[in-house]
A and B are shown apart, each in its own frame.
Chain A
């Protein structure tokens, strides 16, 4: 099922940031979001993930199909790598965590407490979580922050494998992942201020 976005307008803190967004994300495809800092990429991903309501427009095919990874990985420092991953696997329906550990080379760290991991290792664990969700659409916000070159390659492989299995991915990133993907620059969709005569327009 394709994720379809029609005439979407989104706001951050009550102020419109993007409007008139239209795109579709078919199974097996990836879409890279680009745009300067503060353009609204994070807000767009959060809106698509259902964390905040859109200002206007329609989002179809997103309900319960999105695995979201934001700036924080939701890891508990006093739980081991396995325990952290097991927890998310259980929440999303109890998948095996071994493939996820393998994909991000976490096998050797499995019994380590997440608090003792380096920033890049934490990030790998956070990305491994995507594999145990079993959700078809990945929404990733700057996924490669603090990853080294090998880890970025690992991540790109994981995305390719995911796309190969009919999944799709929407990635906000500034680096070149070497993926075959369309690019969506959000710059041109910057919202113009609302006209002053709509019902509550005196506020906006």
Chain B
């Protein structure tokens, strides 16, 4: 099978009915898998890792903070991709998936901000610091709010999908710009992203490394959060598809009146 035929096979799931059939089949397994990895990762991280010599047990908040921060940006990126797919190929499922993902991304951003504040209190001695990383997440949170508000405000489904997709595109550019602007505006307290550097995980990187003891449960938590996101988006997209279908059937009913 060539790559293009494989891709064509992928587009089949753009059909709402096929999408529903697939997700209904895999969702139970996904829920179980999510629960296992998430609970496993968190329990491992919280109870079976030593306290940090400097930060004490506070460090363990990374098992929530890092995955949620990672998802906060990834979800927006996923929304950008699905918005583009909608604008170019006009697959309803794609637009609805973006809509379904937005609240998940918002909550993840909020979790990252709150856990960041809780972590920052004992570490930096303050709940909130206008640190560039925190600030960019705050701006991202505002973008999520605007995106969701626009979806809610427009009655017609296709119009809403078109407008929010363009907003997502333009918003992405401005979100990246804001990030650079914020870094320029204030050099911060926050350490660089150390988790995903290969050197940090393998322990060869002596500067700000996340040692293996913490890294493995953290990777499991990342996987768990990722699975949770996929599960929620599948589930919520299914809900959105059904809601759209009900709306369409009701309109049909009226038209046949």
A interface vs B, CB < 8 Å? 13-15, 191, 193, 199-200, 202-204
Does B220 belong to the interface (CB within 8 Å)? no
A202 contacts B245, C-beta separation under 8 Å: yes
The 9 closest A-B pairs by CB, nearest first: A202-B16, A203-B248, A15-B251, A193-B252, A13-B156, A202-B17, A14-B158, A200-B92, A203-B244
B256 contacts A14, C-beta separation under 8 Å: no
The interface centre, meaning the residue of A13, A15, A193, A199 with most chain B CB atoms within 10 A of its CB, is A199
Q: How far is the CA of A202 from the CA of B249 in the complex (A)?
A: 9
Residue of B nearest to A15 (CB): B251
Q: How far is the CA of A178 from the CA of B166 in the complex (A)?
A: 48
Q: Given A203-B16, A203-B245, A204-B248, A193–B255 Cβ distance below 8 Å?
A: yes
Tell me which residues across on chain A come within 8 A of B252, comparing CB atoms: 15, 193, 204
Q: What are 10 sample pairs from A and B whose C-beta atoms fall under 8 A apart?
A: A14-B248, A14-B251, A199-B15, A200-B16, A202-B17, A203-B16, A203-B157, A203-B245, A204-B248, A204-B252
Q: How far is the CA of A199 from the CA of B156 in the complex (A)?
A: 20
Q: How far is the CA of A173 from the CA of B157 in the complex (A)?
A: 31
B15 contacts A200, C-beta separation under 8 Å: yes
Tell me which residues across on chain A come within 8 A of B210, comparing CB atoms: none
Tell me which residues across on chain B come within 8 A of A203, comparing CB atoms: 16, 92, 157, 244-245, 248
The 8 A CB mask of B47-84 against A (1 = contact, 0 = none) is 00000000000000000000000000000000000000
Q: Given A202-B241, A202-B245, A193–B16 Cβ distance below 8 Å?
A: no
Does B91 belong to the interface (CB within 8 Å)? yes
B interface vs A, CB < 8 Å? 14-17, 91-92, 156-158, 241, 244-245, 248, 251-252, 255-256
Choose from B91, B157, B256 the contact partner of A193 (Cβ within 8 Å).
Answer: B256
Tell me which residues across on chain A come within 8 A of B255, comparing CB atoms: 15, 191, 193
Tell me which residues across on chain B come within 8 A of A202, comparing CB atoms: 15-17, 241, 245, 248
Tell me which residues across on chain A come within 8 A of B92, comparing CB atoms: 200, 203
Tell me which residues across on chain A come within 8 A of B16, comparing CB atoms: 200, 202-203
Q: Given A193-B255, A200-B15, A14–B156 Cβ distance below 8 Å?
A: yes
14 more A-B residue pairs beyond the given contacts A200-B16, A202-B245, with a C-beta to C-beta distance below 8 A? A14-B158, A15-B251, A15-B255, A191-B255, A199-B15, A200-B15, A200-B91, A200-B92, A202-B16, A203-B16, A203-B244, A203-B245, A203-B248, A204-B248
Tell me which residues across on chain A come within 8 A of B256, comparing CB atoms: 193
Tell me which residues across on chain A come within 8 A of B157, comparing CB atoms: 14, 203
B61 to nearest A CB, angstroms?
43
Q: How far is the CA of A193 from the CA of B248 in the complex (A)?
A: 10
The interface centre, meaning the residue of B17, B157, B256 with most chain A CB atoms within 10 A of its CB, is B17
Residue of B nearest to A204 (CB): B248
Residue of A nearest to B253 (CB): A193
Q: How far is the CA of A18 from the CA of B15 in the complex (A)?
A: 25
The interface centre, meaning the residue of B157, B244, B248 with most chain A CB atoms within 10 A of its CB, is B248
Residue of A nearest to B254 (CB): A15
Q: How far is the CA of A203 from the CA of B158 in the complex (A)?
A: 11
Q: How far is the CA of A14 from the CA of B15 in the complex (A)?
A: 17
A43 to nearest B CB, angstroms?
13
